Amino acid sequence: MTPDQSKLTRRTFGVGAAALGAAALFTPAQARAEGAAAAQVPAFPGAEGCGMYVSGGRGGDVYPVTTLADSGPGSLREAVKGSNRTVVFKVSGTIYLKSRLDISGSNLTVAGQTAPGDGICIAGYPTRIAGQNVIVRYLRCRMGDIAGVTEDAMWARRTQDVIIDHCSLSWSTDEALSVYENARVTVQWCLLSESLTMSVNPEGRHGYGGIWGGENVSYHHNLIVHHTSRTPRFAPRSAAGPDIALKVDYRNNVVYNWGFNSAYGGEDSAGINMVGNYYRSGPDTLAEVRDRIVEPTVSTLGGPGSWYVADNHVDGFPQVTADNWLGVDGDVAITRLTAPVTFPQELPAESAVVAFERVLAGAGAILPRRDSVDARVVQDVRQGTGRLINSQTEVGGWPELRSTTPPADSDGDGIPDAWETANGLNPQDPADGKAVGADGYTNLERYLNSIGRTGAANPDVRLLQPTGDALVTTSGATAKVLLVAEAAGRGVPLARVEFRAGDKLVGTVTSRPYRLEWKDAPEGTHYATATAVDATGTATTSTALPVHVNRATTIGEWKAVDVGSTPIRGAASLVDGVMTVKGSGAIGGTADRFRFVFRPWRGDGEIVARVESIRKVYPEVVGGVMIRSNLGPSASFALMQLTYFGSGMVSRFGTRVSDGAEAQTLQYPDVPEDASVATPYWVRLTRKGGTVTGAVSADAQTWHEVGSGAVELPELIFVGLAVDGRKESNAIANYGTVRFSGISLG
């Protein structure tokens, strides 16, 4: 199946010689007469790289998946336990797992393209490939956070002879796809997107692309989008791993919107080729790494490795495109190879620019059709939109995958009757499905390789209102939000546009103009999307845009102001004794940007507040109490805050000792797991003369002093609550939301 399918037609099973090539179909008797197939037959047409000759379930039995249940007869779990088989699907939809799915069978093919309807998605728990000689094609593994586990969407470790082709991996809580410490493996034409950043991972911020490695392994034509780092991390074997080298052919991949790092690792590598890849930074990419191709590292796993880095395109950085070594960061004394490492199965040469278009057209589970999630991600790459996410709910959640009636297969050989009849086979004879011809393929494989794409090209859709980070103010508990989209089908009319807030359907519009009023949007931050669905059922979801609904109330004797130039205007409300403060920007350096709810104060005293909750939007978002010399951005201050950092929550005492000085911070505990700091938690600042002391408490009775220091403060100071959004050197503005109670001055 060619990965670049610009002409999309409805699925057809009538395939003749023109579609199948010169080799004709054959009966079992003809197969026996022709003898054994050639020793090396590609897993399927288009299989390339070091795993291209994996045979999978060729010639074995057929196991049909007939249910979306987690387990039991006819389930995918039951199907992949066995060996020497090809797994086909008689149903489409999402399989919500109750535990990890282990593909433990060997000599196994999983043919996701056979699902009748919209295809198969695996959700809830990870999928692990543990068997050997395995082909996995056209599956979606979108794990999500609903089970609360820390896992990859799909992984394979310490196995051999595997090819993963045209799979879509997303919404993991660790890496999207990790395939390392293996031998003779290919990962090709896969789409890795949106691993979850601030989710359930106990290490805190995560959201990584993948850990890749092994000996004689190929990774090509994959699309890697919206990950904080590890795009990928090249990993050598661990001490307990198999005795294999790190030897990787990494070519023609497209990487978009990495966060604080792109690719790194490669310790003790025998050779890593990074050739012909396309890099496009995005809204989350930090300024200091926008031109980065890779950061070779050393660690306890090994010393400097050997690298060949050439012909990569770094969008927006022509000097790095011209000299790729300018995009190799770090001070590790690697071996710079002057020629690529050779492999038993070499990948054909292709320019990064050509690969970019082919990958966007063909990566992921495009059979039986590309779903609305992948269509959105591809649209993000083209338009330079999208962002890192913390939950799948922010982008609409799992789309509905409709199932249609599977084609009749009277003899149960995995081949529809209509296809057998059209191609001279007997729909009552199961043996002809296993028959092998001179080209080495069985009739079942020929059918699998003939399956085409259903529906039309994914429609176009864009959310016009609300705009990104729009603010809506309400005096009550809910607000009205106008949702407006523009959308168009590609060659077929649109059936409807669905508007969502998070993963909740707000409403559906069936004709232009595509606009809808969300009448009861509750206070908080929501992510709005529009999904365009055409007459064939093919869909695309728009980029999710955050909208912030803020409640307007009086706040008593307090006043609220944005200190410095904030990217999103802050807010404050007081309801039932709880002060909700929202802010953006960042406190630190020599100038601050944040939301400050304050009162003027003279002389010595203290401020105490209980931090009820901090919205887990980004690491190191500030929520705490502050004493400040003035309302200018460079004012001296003392701050006692709570924040998410590393594997948990910590408290920090921060100061700027004089106007314009660099801010300093003391942290308790040094490592989050060393002490239990979790909201609700009390924070306190005490001013006595020229000294300010910060402390925290679980119960407002027993206090732990976090830090103390001299700060230049005038007699008249400003005391209050401070919230920021931990703004970094990228295009994303986070909106911190912190709830306080028990606020007192004295």
Q: Tell me which amino acid residue 344 is.
A: P
Paired with 61 in beta bridges are 85
Regarding beta strands 191-193 and 664-668, do their DSSP bridges make them parallel or antiparallel, or are they unpaired? unpaired
State how far the Cα of 278 lies from the Cα of 231, in Å rounded to an integer.
12
Find the length of the chain. 746
500 to each of 51, 464, 506, 507, 709, how far by Cα in Å? 41, 14, 5, 7, 49
State how far the Cα of 199 lies from the Cα of 144, in Å rounded to an integer.
10
State how far the Cα of 178 lies from the Cα of 487, in Å rounded to an integer.
36
Q: Do the Cβ atoms of 180 and 211 come closer than 8 Å? A: yes
Question: In 3D, which of 635, 643, 628 has the Cα closest to residue 721?
Answer: 628
Q: Do the Cβ atoms of 594 and 565 come closer than 8 Å? A: no
2 to each of 36, 189, 190, 222, 362, how far by Cα in Å? 27, 11, 14, 15, 8
230 catalytically annotated: yes
Beta-carbon count within 10 A of 45 CB: 15
Burial of 745 (0-12, 13-18, 19+ CB in 10 A): middle
Q: What is the DSSP letter of 117?
A: B
Concatenated DSSP letters of 199-231: SS-TTSS--B--EE--EEEEEES-EEEEESB-T
State how far the Cα of 94 lies from the Cα of 593, in Å rounded to an integer.
44
**Residues with Cβ within 8 Å of residue 426, at least 6 apart in sequence:** 27, 411, 420, 432
Task: Respond yes or no on whether the N-terminal peptide bond of residue 73 is cis (omega within 30° of 0).
Answer: no
Burial of 485 (0-12, 13-18, 19+ CB in 10 A): buried
**Residues with Cβ within 8 Å of residue 741, at least 6 apart in sequence:** 577, 578, 579, 609, 610, 612, 680
Paired with 527 in beta bridges are 546
Concatenated DSSP letters of 590-641: TS--EEEEEEEEESSEEEEEEEEEE--SSTT--EEEEEES-SSTT--EEEEE
Largest Cα separation within the chain, whole Å, is: 101
Q: Do the Cβ atoms of 509 and 519 come closer than 8 Å? A: no
Q: Characterize 87-121 residue by residue with b for buried, 16 or more Cβ atoms within 10 angstroms of its Cβ, and e for exposed.
A: bbbbbbbbbbbeeebebebbbbbbbbbbbbbbbbb
State how far the Cα of 678 lies from the Cα of 684, in Å rounded to an integer.
15
Angle ∠(372,373,376) on CA atoms, nearest 5: 85
For the chain, counts of helices (H) and of strands (E): 8, 51
State how far the Cα of 270 lies from the Cα of 283, in Å rounded to an integer.
35
Burial of 405 (0-12, 13-18, 19+ CB in 10 A): exposed
Per the residue annotation, which of 58, 230, 280, 739 is the catalytic one? 230
* Residues noted as catalytic: 230
